Amino acid sequence: MYAIEVRDHIMVAHSLPDPFFGPAQNKHGATFIVDVAFFCEELTREAVVVDIGRASDTLRRVLKPLAYQDLDALPQLTGQLTTTEFLCGHIFSRMVEAIQKGELGPGAKSVTRLRITLQEAPNARAWFEGPVAGD
């Protein structure tokens, strides 16, 4: 299995309004380092998994609606507990959509899996990994 990984980051504000989260129920800021790993069985004819530049640009576009935002105020996240794990799944879905729309180029059709990792502290991170279903 081949893989490449690209990285970016976002800064957000949010709250987790459930007693389970203790002090994180209150509004607070978070900076997430976001890694996206693209996996495939066979390299493209150019001997890559996907173009790193396109992958980086796509990740930046996917993150832009979240960056420097209060996640509690975003209509698309209304009613969600925007935990690190939830955000991994949200970003995963947006990246799969981008692959299926061809935003990463024709070579991305060979990508079979994605892993989205959000690191929220030097000693804490979460990820979501799953298959990329094609048309």
Question: What average pLDDT does range 18-25 have in this prediction?
Answer: 96
pLDDT at 107: 80
Exposed / middle / buried, residue 12 (Cβ in 10 Å: 0-12, 13-18, 19+): buried
pLDDT at 106: 83
Question: What average pLDDT does range 61-67 have in this prediction?
Answer: 98
Give the residue with greater pLDDT, 135 vs 26.
Answer: 26
Question: What average pLDDT does range 39-63 have in this prediction?
Answer: 95
Question: What average pLDDT does range 106-125 have in this prediction?
Answer: 93
Look at the block and give the residue holding tokens 């079979």.
Answer: 112
Tell me the pLDDT band of 135, cut-offs 50, 70 and 90: very low
Q: What percent of the chain has pLDDT over 70?
A: 99
For the chain, which residues make up each domain, given as ranges? 2-131
pLDDT at 105: 87
The CATH code for residues 2-131 is: 3.30.479.10
The mean pLDDT value of the chain amounts to 95
Exposed / middle / buried, residue 122 (Cβ in 10 Å: 0-12, 13-18, 19+): exposed
The tens digit of pLDDT for each residue in 73-104 reads 999 999 999 999 999 999 999 999 999 999 99
Question: Does residue 4 surpass a pLDDT of 80?
Answer: yes
pLDDT at 133: 81
